């Protein structure tokens, strides 16, 4: 029994090496697909200034905040580059056919 929530996105909507913002289960998340086709999701918030990561980029395995360049690991939510210091929550992602499913529990 899955605790996953459908992201309302298809795999084909997300190009490799990019991250997309989507609301899943009432939360705003950044869902990313690395260049080598791994999927992850983190909370859509930059803990440095409280704003969202919205227009951020995926840099390798890390989501980069557009305002000051802080980076969070897509799979663990750990801070990879300052100025944020507090990590964000990360959620596992899997594909159900072409549907993207995020495990929110």
Partner 1 sequence: MAVPNPAVDKVPTGYKYGWHDPEMKSLHVMKKGLSREVVEEISRIKGEPQWMTDLRLKAYRHFEARPMPTWGGDMSQIDFQDIFYYVTATDKAVQSWDDVPDYIRRTYDRLGIPEAEKKYLAGVGGQYDSEVVYHNIRADLEKLGVIFLGTDEGLQKYPEIFKEYFGTVIPPNDNKLAALNTAVWSGGSFIYVPKGVHVELPLQAYFRINTENMGQFERTLIIADEGSSVHYVEGCTAPAYTTASLHSAVVEIIVKKGARVRYTTIQNWSHNVYNLVTKRAVAYEDAVMEWVDGNLGSHLTMKYPSIYLLGERAHGEVLSIAFAGSDQHQDAGGKVIHAAPNTTSLITSKSISQGTGRTSYRGLVKVYPGCHGSKSTVRCDALILSDEARSDTYPYMEIDEDDVTIGHEATVSKVGSEQLFYLMSRGMNEAEASAMIVNGFIEPIVKELPMEYAVEMNRLIQLQMEGAVG
73 belongs to the binding site for partner 1 (CB under 8 A): no
Among 15, 86, 89, 94, binds partner 1 (CB under 8 A): 86
Of 62, 64, 33, give the one whose Cα is nearest residue 48: 64
Residues 73-89 as b/e (b if ≥16 CB within 10 A, e otherwise) read bbbebebbeeebeebbe
List the one residue from 6, 9, 11, 81 that touches partner 1 (CB under 8 A). Answer: 81
Q: Is 104 in the site for partner 1 (CB under 8 A)?
A: no
* Residues of the shown chain interacting with partner 1 in the complex, contacts defined by CB under 8 A: 64, 66-71, 80-83, 85-86
């Amino acid at each position: 029994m899955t605790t996953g929530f459908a992201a309302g996105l298809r795999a084909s909507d997300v190009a490799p090496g990019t991250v997309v913002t989507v609301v899943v289960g009432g939360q705003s998340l950044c869902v990313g697909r690395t260049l080598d086709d791994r999927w992850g999701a983190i909370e859509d918030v930059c803990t440095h200034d409280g704003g969202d990561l919205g227009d951020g980029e995926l840099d390798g395995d890390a989501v980069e905040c557009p305002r000051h360049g802080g980076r969070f690991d897509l799979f663990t939510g750990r801070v990879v580059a300052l100025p944020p210091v507090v990590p964000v929550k990360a959620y596992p992602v899997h594909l159900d056919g072409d549907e993207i499913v995020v495990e929110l529990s």
